[in-house]
Structure 1
Amino acid sequence: HIAEKHDFMSRLSDLEAENAKKCEIIENLQLKIQELNKTIQSSQIEAPVIVQDETTNQEEIAELLSQIHAKDYEIQRLENCIQDSNNEIAEIKEILASVKASLHETKEQLEIARDETMALKMQLAEAKEKPASESSR
């Protein structure tokens, strides 16, 4: 039972270490998402457009359209990054749920082992008492 208990404790320690690593990954991904959100917000700030009378030339319009397309492309790229990060976070949450379930199962097994150990200790104590009481007769 001691070896089993040691094995359970070792497994529990390993699962806790794995859980800590995954929590750190989630925190890093959340920071990355925050940075990406800031970048999206800053890229969405509109530059003031100076409207000239009726003399606005086609080159300025083409340049503005080019800038808009570039910003649209950057926004799409950032949205894709956020979606990828969200997918990774969802996967990590699933892994954490699995680890949590495994830890719960391990805890239950440890409780069963503890109860069995206590029962065996009681049986051992009773067995030690019987010869002592029989020899006193």
Structure 2
Amino acid sequence: SRYNYVLWTIQIELIGSFAIFAAFALFGGNAFVYRLFCILAFLALSASTNKTAMYTSLFFLGSMLITFRFSEEKPSTKRTVSCVTGLLIGLYLAGFHSASASYAMLSNMTRALSAITGYQPSWLLI
């Protein structure tokens, strides 16, 4: 990344990929245990002050979410609604900026969640 700033994610992608491969090799046989491990890894790493660890936590969140994939046999209304809803939420969150009025409710919600639970991850980075 010293020569090409766009490549700053390469280290995180490598670490995250190896972590997911290792976790799946250890716990992939049991979906419940794998999901539990991914949730715990996400919570532990996202609470870190180290940016690499915090960004790597998102790999575990994504890997846990994919375990809830729909069957590939036939399209369904439930699947279509879930996919479109996920797409719209993703598009909304992709433009997040804490100073924007359209994200004020989300900023307030994360501050309240942190105050109630005591869990203090970097919500703005997540």
Q: Please give the range of the TM-score, normalised by the shorter of the 2 chains.
A: under 0.3
TM-score by length of 1: 0.23
Larger Rg: 1
TM-score by length of 2: 0.25
Identify the structure with bigger relative contact order (alpha carbons < 8 Å, sequence gap 6+): 1
Higher helix share: 1
